[in-house]
């Protein structure tokens, strides 16, 4: 299958309903499924967020959107401190896309335990190839979770996550329909 690199707007459009829901979406519209996955000997936590089955987006399966964080020891929400309190960038993206009909997957990067909590090995052992392998492992795990359509995969990379998404898309393009947004 031919590989395409659509913009984020195109990816959002593919998962979109008629009008975008306000953030945060109503809790009743999404389902949260926590999961664990081993990343290079480190037990990492992740979460799948998808529409509530039977709602306006049917019973699934829904296209998978894998969120790939940028440089640094980011937690799965990409929690950022601001003067007004923390902002959870990837949690907001996950909730919005799930409310629009996608199965969104995010995870703590290798050696990250949560917001601001990480093992010092992150700085010593990080590498783009390791992060690509981790993303592939998380994507394989997502394909086993209920509600996920492994035949329709979108990669959303932010900052360093764009390099990870691009490499993962290249590795998967020969036998999968994977689209990347940078």
Comparison of pLDDT for 56 and 97, the residue scoring more: 97
Whole-prediction pTM:
0.82
Residue pointed to by tokens 């949690």:
91
The Cα–Cα gap between 52 and 111 comes to 31
Residue 8: pLDDT band with limits 50, 70, 90: very low
Lowest mean pLDDT among 19-23, 106-110, 171-175: 19-23
pLDDT, tens only, 73-108:
999 999 999 999 999 999 999 999 999 999 999 999
- What does each C-alpha distance from 117 to 15, 75, 111 come to in angstroms? 33, 8, 9
């Amino acid at each position: 299958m031919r590989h395409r690199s659509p913009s984020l707007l195109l990816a959002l459009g593919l998962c979109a309903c008629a009008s975008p829901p306000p953030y945060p979406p109503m809790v009743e519209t999404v389902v949260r499924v926590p999961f664990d996955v081993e990343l290079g000997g480190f037990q990492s936590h992740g979460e799948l967020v998808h529409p509530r089955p039977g709602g306006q987006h049917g019973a699934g399966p829904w296209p998978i959107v894998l969120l790939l964080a940028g440089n640094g020891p980011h937690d799965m929400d990409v929690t950022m401190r601001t003067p007004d309190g923390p902002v959870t960038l990837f949690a907001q993206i996950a909730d919005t896309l799930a409310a629009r009909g996608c199965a969104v997957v995010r995870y703590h990067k290798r050696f990250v335990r949560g917001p601001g909590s990480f093992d010092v090995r992150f700085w010593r052992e990080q590498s783009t190839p390791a992060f690509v392998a981790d993303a592939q492992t998380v994507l394989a795990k997502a394909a086993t979770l209920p509600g996920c359509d492994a035949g329709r995969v979108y990669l959303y990379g932010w900052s360093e996550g764009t390099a990870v998404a691009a490499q993962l898309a290249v590795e998967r393009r020969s036998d999968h329909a994977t689209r990347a947004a940078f």
